[in-house]
């Protein structure tokens, strides 16, 4: 199955799959027996059809598909304590931040420009910098224009929910089948600590009164979307001491109302951003606190663990932002949509992902038959395609997986400062990488030098390039079996 990988090399602008095909190994089992397991189980096929190419709604899809946001909706109807509307910086990556705002016509030009160059593109989102449902005229005009040109692109929006109930009918008409609502509370007394005011019904409300209105509108919007079969992701900002414990309650409420996915994100509160929380010294959660809360939420609404808290104008796979390559001044004045790259890419992915899913299910079997009660935390350097295909020194983040008797699951990502810059290795950043990888047992990458490998070992972390270009799950399955299993690998095949 390494053959289809080659054709992707010709796709310019692609950052995935550029590994050497000669070394690419599939997880085996490609021929016959495990075809049916190629689709994630416990999900009905209509839902799978909706999410399978959406990087934010499907953890599996985030290895293959890219999203782009167009910042056409700058106006907002509420104020949040973690947001500062004056802050606008091209060098800062965080939710709601953009470097250029677009009119619907400019947005169309940008979407076509990106679709022609980034074959992984599958989703167009409008996520601010204000509220997509409140700044509706711009949102609607953009979606209508883009849908006319690129019929197969998925449309989605992100909203605080206040204006959402007024827009559900039109969202359904426009085939928007993914909506993200930010819900940080179901108790307005807690809401009053997060939202200083809302603008609703031609006046400003504050305090518990404001939070009560917001809460009621969020719940009714969510219920309306569920009734229409529109998938919803709930974003919650985890604010230690304010709503961290409360999010367990939020998770229950949104699950009962049909939310598809719950994404608990850490508060970002750098004082330099000038937000209320930043200035008042409210801290964000540590990576392990976030994971602990997410672990407690397991069993409720399904959790999203692969969120990168991207900018409101991000372009590319999750974890990368190519937005700066597609600013208006870099786009041609006139663009015509050329579907060829996206179509070719999709055909390759269709074959590739079937193979990977088969490999994954085999790897799961491997972990289970290893018969150990132990768990293994594995950090992976990847640039997409679900393979270990990034050099240790080039990684800007590591994807962390946990292998345990329950299976192999993605638990999150850890951002690091790139260790090798322009061929030079930076010792200082290596210290940073080692401390970021705290708790990880082993690092898997395509390549690693002797020096960083030894330094990691001193820090108690093993690293290996032995599984380079393998599927992530295949490698972790084999690794787990080798660590804890009594049977040799071949016995499970």
Partner 1 sequence: MAFKIIASQCTQCGACEFECPSGAIKFKGETYVIDPKKCTECEGTFETQQCASVCPVSKTCVPA
161 binds partner 1 (CB under 8 A): no
Q: Note whether 445 and 381 are within 8 A (CB).
A: yes
- Out of 74, 354, 405, 412, the only residue in the binding site for partner 1 (CB under 8 A) is 74
Residue nearer to partner 1 on the CB measure, 136 or 467: 136
3 state SS for the chain: CCHHHHHHHHCCCCCCCCCCHHHCCCCCCCCCCCCHHHCCCCCCHHHHHHHCCCCCCCCCHHHCCEEEECCCECCCCEECCCCCCCCCCCCCCCCCCCCCCCCHHHHHHHHHHHHHHCCCEEEEEECCECCCCCCHHHHHHHHHHHHHHCCCCEEEEEECCCCHHHCHHHHHHCCCCEEEEECCCCCHHHHHHHCCEEEECCEEEEHHHHHHHHHHHHHHHHHHHHHCCCEEEEEEEECCCCCCCCHHHHHHHHHHCCCCEEEEEECCCCHHHCCHHHHHCCCCCCHHHHHHHHHHHCCCCCECCCCCCCCCCCEEECCCCCHHHHCHHHCCCCCCCCCHHHHHHHHHHHHHHHHHHHHHHHHHHHHHHCCCCCCEEEEECCCCCCECCCEHHHCCEEEEEEEECCEEEEEEEEECCCCEECCEECHHHHHHHHHHCCCCCEEECCECCHHHHHHHHHCCCEEECCCCCCEHHHHHHHHHHHHHCCCCHHHHC
- Out of 47, 75, 90, 420, the only residue in the binding site for partner 1 (CB under 8 A) is 75
Question: Please, which of residues 354-393 interact with partner 1 by CB under 8 A?
Answer: none
Question: Please, which of residues 133-152 interact with partner 1 by CB under 8 A?
Answer: 134-135, 137
CA dihedral (234, 239, 243, 249) positive or negative: positive
Question: Please, which of residues 257-286 interact with partner 1 by CB under 8 A?
Answer: none
Residue nearer to partner 1 on the CB measure, 94 or 414: 94
Length of the chain as a residue count = 493
Question: Please, which of residues 204-223 interact with partner 1 by CB under 8 A?
Answer: 204
241's tokens? 């001491």
Residue nearer to partner 1 on the CB measure, 85 or 414: 85
Least Å from the CB of residue 149 to partner 1: 25
Please state whether the peptide bond connecting residue 129 to the residue before it is cis, i.e. omega within 30 degrees of 0.
yes
177 binds partner 1 (CB under 8 A): no
160 binds partner 1 (CB under 8 A): no
- Out of 25, 85, 394, 396, the only residue in the binding site for partner 1 (CB under 8 A) is 85
Residue range at the interface with partner 1 (CB under 8 A); choices 199-207, 319-327, 393-401, 453-461: 199-207
Residue range at the interface with partner 1 (CB under 8 A); choices 57-65, 201-209, 325-333, 382-390: 201-209
CA distance 139 to 72: 7
86 binds partner 1 (CB under 8 A): yes
- Out of 55, 95, 119, 130, the only residue in the binding site for partner 1 (CB under 8 A) is 130
Question: Please, which of residues 416-445 interact with partner 1 by CB under 8 A?
Answer: none
Number of residues that bind partner 1 (CB under 8 A): 18
Least Å from the CB of residue 204 to partner 1: 4
- Out of 19, 26, 58, 77, the only residue in the binding site for partner 1 (CB under 8 A) is 77
- Out of 41, 46, 148, 203, the only residue in the binding site for partner 1 (CB under 8 A) is 203
CA distance 185 to 247: 7
Least Å from the CB of residue 81 to partner 1: 13
101 binds partner 1 (CB under 8 A): yes
Residue nearer to partner 1 on the CB measure, 134 or 253: 134
94 binds partner 1 (CB under 8 A): no
> Which residue, chain included where needed, has tokens 């919650």?
236
Residue range at the interface with partner 1 (CB under 8 A); choices 129-137, 275-283, 301-309, 379-387: 129-137
Residue range at the interface with partner 1 (CB under 8 A); choices 78-86, 355-363, 392-400, 460-468: 78-86
- Out of 79, 218, 263, 269, the only residue in the binding site for partner 1 (CB under 8 A) is 79
199 binds partner 1 (CB under 8 A): yes
Residue nearer to partner 1 on the CB measure, 106 or 344: 106
Residue nearer to partner 1 on the CB measure, 48 or 199: 199
Residue nearer to partner 1 on the CB measure, 74 or 412: 74
Least Å from the CB of residue 77 to partner 1: 7
Residue nearer to partner 1 on the CB measure, 79 or 218: 79
Least Å from the CB of residue 270 to partner 1: 19
CA distance 13 to 314: 16
323's tokens? 């937005």
Interface residues toward partner 1, by CB under 8 A: 74-77, 79, 85-86, 88, 101, 129-130, 134-135, 137, 199, 202-204
């Amino acid at each position: 199955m390494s053959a289809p990988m080659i054709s992707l090399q010709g796709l310019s602008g692609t950052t995935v799959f550029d590994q050497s095909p000669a070394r690419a190994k599939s997880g085996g089992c490609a021929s016959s027996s495990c075809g049916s397991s190629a689709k994630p189980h416990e999900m009905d096929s209509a839902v799978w059809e909706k999410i399978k190419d959406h990087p934010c709604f499907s953890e599996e899809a985030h290895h293959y598909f890219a999203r782009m946001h167009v910042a056409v909706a700058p106006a907002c109807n509420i104020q949040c304590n973690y947001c500062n509307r004056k802050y606008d910086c091209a060098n800062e990556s965080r939710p709601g931040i953009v470097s250029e705002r677009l009119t619907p016509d400019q947005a169309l030009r940008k979407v076509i420009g990106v679709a022609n160059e980034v074959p992984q593109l599958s989703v167009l989102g409008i996520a601010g910098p204000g509220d997509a449902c409140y700044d509706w005229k711009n949102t609607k005009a953009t979606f209508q224009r883009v849908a006319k040109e690129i019929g197969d692109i998925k449309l989605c929006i992100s909203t605080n929910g206040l204006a959402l109930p007024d827009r559900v009918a039109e969202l359904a008409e426009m085939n928007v089948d993914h909506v993200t609502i930010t819900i940080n509370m179901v108790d307005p007394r807690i809401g009053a600590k997060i939202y200083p005011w809302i603008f609703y019904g031609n006046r400003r409300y504050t305090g518990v009164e404001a939070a009560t209105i917001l809460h009621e509108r969020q719940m009714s919007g969510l219920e309306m979307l569920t009734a229409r079969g529109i998938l919803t992701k709930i974003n919650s900002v985890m604010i230690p001491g304010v709503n961290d414990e409360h999010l367990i309650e939020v998770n229950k409420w949104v699950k009962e109302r049909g939310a598809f996915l719950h994404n608990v994100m850490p508060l970002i509160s750098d004082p330099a951003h000038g937000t209320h929380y930043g200035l008042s010294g409210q801290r964000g959660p540590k990576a392990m606190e976030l994971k602990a809360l997410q672990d407690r939420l397991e069993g409720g609404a399904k959790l999203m663990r692969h969120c990168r808290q991207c900018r409101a104008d991000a372009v590319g796979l999750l974890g990368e932002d190519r937005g700066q390559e597609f600013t208006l001044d870099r786009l041609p004045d006139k663009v015509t949509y050329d579907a060829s790259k996206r179509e070719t890419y999709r055909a390759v992915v269709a074959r590739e992902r079937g193979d990977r899913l088969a490999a994954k299910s085999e790897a799961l079997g491997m972990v289970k038959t290893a018969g150990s009660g132990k768990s293994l935390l594995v950090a992976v350097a990847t640039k997409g395609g679900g393979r270990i295909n990034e050099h240790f020194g080039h990684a800007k983040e590591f994807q962390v997986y946990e292998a345990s008797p329950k299976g192999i699951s993605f638990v999150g990502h850890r951002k690091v400062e790139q260790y090798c810059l322009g061929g030079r290795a930076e010792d200082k950043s290596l210290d940073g990488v080692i401390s970021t990888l705290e708790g990880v047992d082993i690092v898997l990458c395509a390549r690693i030098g002797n020096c960083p490998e030894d330094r990691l070992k001193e820090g108690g972390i093993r690293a290996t390039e032995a599984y380079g270009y393998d599927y992530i799950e295949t490698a972790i399955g084999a690794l787990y079996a080798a660590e804890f299993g009594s049977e040799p690998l071949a016995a499970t095949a």
